[in-house]
C-alpha cells in the first residue's frame, strides 16, 4: 500500500440542484458566496482539491450552471492552499486558449490550478451549442490530442503539432505556467478508451463510484498499460458520502434520497448517459451498468458505499487505498456542514488507520 496519505477532493456545486437528482432537502447552494465559504471550510478540513463541473445546458435538474474556469479562479482567489481543478470540454474549448488561460491563472494563484479534461456524454448539449457530436472513441482520440497539445504548449518553445483535430505551428507560450512541468491533468471516464488515454497521457484517472472489486479491475488494467508506456498515472474515485453518528441514520438518509428521487429527471439522464460508455464498442464505461438507484447520484457515488459511521467510512477508504486508489472525490447532501463533519470525524480516523497499516507492513 502507498505510504502517501490518501487525498481528498470535493465536487464544487457550481451547478444548481445539488449532487443528487432527488427532491430531498439539500442545504447546498450553487452561488458564489456559498462556494467561497465552502472552499475555505474544505481547505481547513484537510481537503486538498476541489473539482468544478462544466455544463452548458440542464440535463437532469442542474438548471443553472456557472462556467468552470472562471468559477475555479474565484475559488482560488478566496483560498490560500486549496487546489482547484477546472473542468474542460474539448469541442467548445480550444487547447491553445486553455493553455493560455490556465497558465495565467496558475501564475495569479501561485501554482494551484489543475484541469479535468472531460470528453462529453450529452449529445443534446453539443447539438444545442452547435458543436459536432463525435462517436464515443473519436471523442477520446480528440481528448488525447487535446492533452498532447496542452502539454506541448506548456513545456516547449516553438511547439508544432499536426494531428487530426489540432494543428500548431511554431508556437511559444509566454509566460509558461508556474507549476513544473505543468498544471496537473485529470480526466473523467471509465470506458476502455478512457482507460487507454489515462495510461498514455493523463496525470490522474478520475472515475465514477464503484465497489472495491470494480475499481480494482480498472486500476489493474490501467496500471499494466501505463507501465508498458512508462507513464505514471494516479487514480481518483467518486463517492457520495453520508457520514452520520450511527449507521441507521446514514442508511435512512440514503433511503430518503432514493425515495424522493425525481423519476422523470433520473430516467431522462439515464437515456442521455447511454451516449457515453454504453455506446462504446465494448459497451463498458460510465453508466453502462447503472441501475435507477445508482443514477440518482449522477456519478454512481452510492456504489462506493461510503455511507455509515465515521469508522466504517474510514475503514472502507483504507480498503480502497489498498487496491491503488490515491484520491477520494466526494459529494455531500449539505456540503458546508458535511465537509466540516468529515474533516473533524472521518479524516483523523483515516490517518490513524493508514499509520497502523504502514506500521504493520514495516
Ligand atoms: C469525476 C468525473 C468528472 C466529470 N465531470 C464532467 C463535467 O464536468 N462535464 C461533463 O460534461 N462531463 C463530465 N464527466 C464525464 C466524462 O467526461 C465522460 O464523458 C463520462 O464519464 C463517460 O465516459 P466513458 O464513456 O468513457 O465511461 C465527468 C466524469 C467523471 C468521472
Tell me how far apart the terminal alpha carbons of the chain are, to the nearest angstrom. 11
| Total-model pTM | 0.96
Cβ(275) – ligand 1 distance below 6 Å: no
- Which has more pLDDT, 85 or 268? 85
Mutation test residue for ligand 1: of 7, 193, 286, 294, the one with most atoms within 8 Å of CB? 286
Q: Do 51 and 19 contact (CB within 8 A), yes or no?
A: no
Instruction: With cut-offs at 50, 70 and 90, classify the pLDDT of residue 163.
Output: very high
Q: What is the pLDDT of residue 277?
A: 63
Residue 173: CB atoms within 10 Å: 17
Gap between the Cα atoms of 301 and 239, Å rounded: 4
Name, in order, each residue with C-beta under 8 angstroms of 337's C-beta and a sequence gap of 6 or more.
27
Atom of ligand 1 nearest to the CA of 277: 25
Q: What is the pLDDT of residue 278?
A: 65
Cβ(336) – ligand 1 distance below 6 Å: no
Q: What is the mean pLDDT of residues 106-119?
A: 98
Cβ(87) – ligand 1 distance below 6 Å: yes
| Residue where the block lists cell 439515464 | 270
Instruction: With cut-offs at 50, 70 and 90, classify the pLDDT of residue 62.
Output: confident
Cβ(215) – ligand 1 distance below 6 Å: no
Gap between the Cα atoms of 354 and 105, Å rounded: 34
Q: Do 297 and 240 contact (CB within 8 A), yes or no?
A: yes
Q: What is the mean pLDDT of residues 128-149?
A: 97
Q: What is the pLDDT of residue 196?
A: 96
Cβ(285) – ligand 1 distance below 6 Å: yes
Cβ(208) – ligand 1 distance below 6 Å: yes
The mean pLDDT value of the chain amounts to 94
For residue 313 the three cell numbers come to: 467510512
CA distances from 199 to 141, 175, 193, 205, 241 (A): 13, 29, 10, 9, 28
For residue 88 the three cell numbers come to: 474542460
Name, in order, each residue with C-beta under 8 angstroms of 201's C-beta and a sequence gap of 6 or more.
144, 147, 148, 151, 185, 231
Q: Do 104 and 155 contact (CB within 8 A), yes or no?
A: no
Q: Do 337 and 31 contact (CB within 8 A), yes or no?
A: no
Distance 157 CA to ligand 1 centre (A): 31
Q: Whose Cα sits closest to atom 4 in ligand 1?
A: 188
For residue 311 the three cell numbers come to: 469508522
Q: What is the pLDDT of residue 142?
A: 98
Whether 214 has a pLDDT exceeding 80, the answer reads yes
Q: Whose Cα sits closest to atom 23 in ligand 1?
A: 189
Query: What residue ranges do the domains of the chain occupy?
Result: 7-361
Residue 95: CB atoms within 10 Å: 24
Q: What is the pLDDT of residue 272?
A: 74
Q: What is the pLDDT of residue 296?
A: 87
Q: Do 290 and 312 contact (CB within 8 A), yes or no?
A: no
Mutation test residue for ligand 1: of 55, 65, 118, 280, the one with most atoms within 8 Å of CB? 118
Q: What is the pLDDT of residue 308?
A: 98
Instruction: With cut-offs at 50, 70 and 90, classify the pLDDT of residue 76.
Output: very high
Architecture of the domain made up of 7-361: Alpha-Beta Barrel (3.20)
Q: What is the pLDDT of residue 275?
A: 63
Q: What is the pLDDT of residue 148?
A: 98
Whether 104 has a pLDDT exceeding 90, the answer reads yes
Instruction: With cut-offs at 50, 70 and 90, classify the pLDDT of residue 54.
Output: very high
Cβ(328) – ligand 1 distance below 6 Å: no
Least confident range from 79-83, 144-148, 257-261, 357-361: namely 357-361
Gap between the Cα atoms of 117 and 275, Å rounded: 18
Cβ(119) – ligand 1 distance below 6 Å: yes
Q: What is the pLDDT of residue 287?
A: 66
Q: Do 271 and 290 contact (CB within 8 A), yes or no?
A: no
For residue 234 the three cell numbers come to: 494516479
Q: What is the pLDDT of residues 276-324, one digit of tens each?
A: 766 677 766 666 777 888 888 989 999 999 999 999 999 999 999 999 9
Q: What is the pLDDT of residue 118?
A: 97
Measured at the CA of 114, the angle between CA 101 and CA 122, to 5 degrees, comes to 85
Q: Is the dihedral of CA 66, 204, 167, 107 positive or negative?
A: positive
Amino acid at each position: 500500500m502507498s505510504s502517501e496519505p490518501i487525498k481528498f477532493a470535493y465536487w464544487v456545486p457550481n451547478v444548481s440542484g445539488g449532487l443528487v437528482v432527488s427532491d430531498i432537502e439539500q442545504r447546498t447552494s450553487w452561488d458564489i458566496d456559498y462556494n467561497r465559504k465552502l472552499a475555505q471550510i474544505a481547505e481547513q478540513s484537510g481537503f486538498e482539491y476541489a473539482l468544478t463541473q462544466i455544463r452548458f445546458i440542464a440535463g437532469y435538474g442542474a438548471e443553472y450552471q456557472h462556467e468552470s474556469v472562471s468559477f475555479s479562479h474565484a475559488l482560488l482567489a478566496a483560498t490560500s492552499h486549496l487546489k482547484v481543478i477546472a473542468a474542460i470540454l474539448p469541442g467548445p474549448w480550444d487547447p491553445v486558449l486553455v493553455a493560455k488561460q490556465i497558465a495565467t491563472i496558475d501564475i495569479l494563484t501561485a501554482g494551484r490550478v489543475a484541469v479535468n479534461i472531460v470528453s462529453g456524454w450529452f449529445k443534446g448539449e453539443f447539438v444545442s451549442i452547435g458543436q459536432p457530436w463525435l462517436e464515443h472513441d473519436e471523442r477520446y482520440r480528440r481528448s488525447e490530442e487535446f492533452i498532447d497539445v496542452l502539454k506541448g504548449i506548456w513545456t516547449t518553445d516553438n511547439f508544432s503539432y499536426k494531428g487530426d483535430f489540432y494543428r500548431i505551428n511554431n508556437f511559444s507560450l509566454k509566460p509558461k505556467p508556474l507549476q513544473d512541468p505543468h498544471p496537473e491533468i485529470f480526466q473523467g471516464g471509465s470506458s476502455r478508451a478512457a482507460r487507454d488515454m489515462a495510461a498514455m497521457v493523463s496525470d490522474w484517472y478520475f472515475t465514477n463510484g464503484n465497489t472495491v472489486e470494480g475499481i480494482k479491475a480498472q486500476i489493474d488494467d490501467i496500471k499494466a498499460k501505463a507501465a508498458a508506456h512508462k507513464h505514471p498515472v494516479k487514480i481518483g474515485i467518486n463517492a457520495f458520502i453520508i457520514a452520520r453518528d450511527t449507521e441507521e441514520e446514514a442508511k435512512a438518509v440514503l433511503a430518503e434520497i432514493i425515495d424522493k428521487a425525481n423519476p422523470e429527471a433520473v430516467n431522462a439522464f439515464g437515456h442521455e448517459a447511454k451516449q457515453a460508455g454504453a455506446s462504446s464498442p465494448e459497451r463498458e464505461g460510465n453508466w453502462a451498468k447503472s441501475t435507477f438507484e445508482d443514477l440518482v447520484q449522477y456519478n454512481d457515488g452510492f456504489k462506493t458505499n461510503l455511507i455509515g459511521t465515521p469508522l466504517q467510512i474510514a475503514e472502507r477508504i483504507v480498503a480502497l487505498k489498498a487496491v491503488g486508489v490515491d484520491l477520494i472525490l466526494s459529494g455531500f447532501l449539505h456540503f458546508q456542514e458535511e465537509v466540516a463533519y468529515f474533516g473533524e470525524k472521518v479524516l483523523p480516523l483515516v490517518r490513524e488507520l493508514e499509520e497502523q497499516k504502514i506500521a504493520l507492513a514495516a
